[in-house]
Amino acid sequence: MIAVARSAKSFPPLARYLVDGRTDEAEGRVAWVASRNLPTEDPVLGARIMRATAAQDLRVTEPVYHLVLSFHPTDAVDRAVMEHVADRLLGTLGLQEHQVVLVAHADRPHPHVHLLVNRVHPETGKAWSRWLDYAAIQRVLREEEEALGLWRVRPGREREPTPDLAENLRTYERLVELGRKRYDADLEMAAAQARFAQLDAAAERAHGARHTLQQSFRAVYRDPDHALGSFLEASGRDPAGAVGDLRETPERFGELLSAERATGRGRSRSDDPAAGAAARTAAVAGREVIDAEGAFRTAIAHARNGRTKTLGTPAVEGSDQEQADAQAAVRVDIERIQVSLRKLRHEEERLPAFHVLERTLARGLWELSPPELNRLRLVVTGAQFSLARKLRHMAQDVALGRDDEM
């Protein structure tokens, strides 16, 4: 048998949880209920009465004593046995005259009963102290295990921490570390894949913007390719100025398309008014080219991830080569991360399953007495002992129903 105890502030919330659980799915949860020194066996009503009783002593900030008595799954115990052990515990602790609600649950593999106890005596108004309750509880449990022939947690004297427990702690610590490293590697992989996708999207935008600008220049210039080169050269020095010139003085970048007109002296050629209008449209496309190529350069820098040199590719100028070089850099990162992830998963596969080991450790640590737990400190590191305490608390939470409690 195992007993876990804690103090709490309020009776009604705990009583409602013991009956309904967190999700209000009470069907099949409660096996039976009982009470001591109360006029009702309704847990919620009993909790209200206990709250009123506890108000006699306003100095008591935690009037609730919550005790969980758990039996081994192989123990063939019925209600009579569970109530007998509960009453023996209450008598030994000096709580036989205090108000108590008992709620037995059938929602776990092991039989267990929750004792909701009022620390404030209903007649004297004095608060019971938990001082040395652990030793008294353990003595009763060991005696009852012997008398009833039940599965024993610790036969005989207190044990030294077993080598298996210390080794399992070291294994568990390594599994935690591997999980953290794998999580970091997954994040790094997602970031690398995002850089690759960003590079492709930026390249597609830049190429599309350049194509649109080329088409726009055909409606403005007699030699659109030469004009495009002039514009791009100017935009490299002064982006805003180049866009303004294309909109207001497009002839700066090349000869505009012309149109023939009839005059008194015959026919003459002059700039086509439509070319001026098309230049204003081309200026919008020119602004997009500048923005798109700026985003493309940023994506290339991100893809290289801090690298300043190419990776085995010739240093040839041009967006296509720069894109290929940046893509190669991202692929190197992805391959490196994949190798790291394979190594981490391979090591995890050779170790016990995380959740199985966690439950085994929690159960073993829960069964240790405080002196036994302190001796464990001598054979493990500080970090491992901290893990041991967390796992022990986790096991206590399960026993108290706090793993899904309010």
Would you state the pLDDT for residue 404? 41
What is the SS3 string spanning the chain? CEEEEEEECCHHHHHHHHHHCCCCCCCCCEEEEEEECCCCCCHHHHHHHHHHHHCCCCCCCCCEEEEEEECCCCCCCCHHHHHHHHHHHHHHHCCCCCCEEEEEECCCCCCEEEEEEECECCCCCCECCCCCHHHHHHHHHHHHHHHHCCCCCCCCCCCCCCHHHHHHHHHHHHHHHHHHHHHHHHHHHHHHHHHHHHHHHHHHHHHHHHHHHHHHHHCCECCHHHHHHHHHHHHHHCHHHHHHHHHHCHHHHCCECEEEEEECCEEEEEECHHHHHHHHHHHHHHHHHHHHHHHHHHHHHHHHCCCCCCCCCCCCCCHHHHHHHHHHHHHHHHHHHHHHHHHHHHHHHHCCCHHHHHHHHHHHHHCCCHHHHHHHCCCCCHHHHHHHHHHHHHHHHHHHCCCCCC
Q: At what angle do helices 163-218 and 354-366 cross, to 10 degrees?
A: 140
Closest residue by Cα to residue 383 from 80, 83, 212, 180: 180
Burial code (b: 16+ CB inside 10 Å, e: under 16) for 224-257 equals beebbebbbebbeeebeebbebbbeebeebbebb
Residue 373: what pLDDT? 78
> Splitting the chain (406 residues) into consecutive groups of 10 residues, what average pLDDT does each group show?
84 91 70 95 95 91 93 88 96 96 89 94 93 86 88 48 75 91 93 92 92 93 93 92 93 82 46 81 93 91 70 44 87 93 92 84 75 79 85 70 44
Q: Which residues pair with 32 in a beta bridge?
A: 104
Residue of 5, 373, 1 lying closest to 158 (CA atoms) = 373
pLDDT of residue 7: 87
Which CATH number is correct for 2-156, 3.30.930.30, 1.20.1630.10, 1.10.10.10, 3.40.1550.10? 3.30.930.30
User: Residue 264: what pLDDT?
Assistant: 46
* 376 alpha carbon, distance to own chain's centre: 30
Give the whole-angstrom CA distance, residue 370 versus residue 380: 16
User: Rounded to two decimals, what is the model's pTM?
Assistant: 0.53
Only one residue has tokens 């966690």, namely 358
Q: Are 405 and 191 in contact (CB under 8 A)?
A: no
Number of Cβ within 10 Å of residue 202's Cβ equals: 23
Question: Hey, what are 271's tokens?
Answer: 């700039």
Q: Using CA atoms, how far apart are residues 406 and 13, in angstroms rounded to an integer?
A: 8
CB 100 within 8 A of CB 116: yes
Q: Where are the domains of the chain?
A: 2-156, 195-331
d(CA 29, CA 401): 12
Minimal CA–CA distance to 8: which of 117, 94, 103, 137? Answer: 117
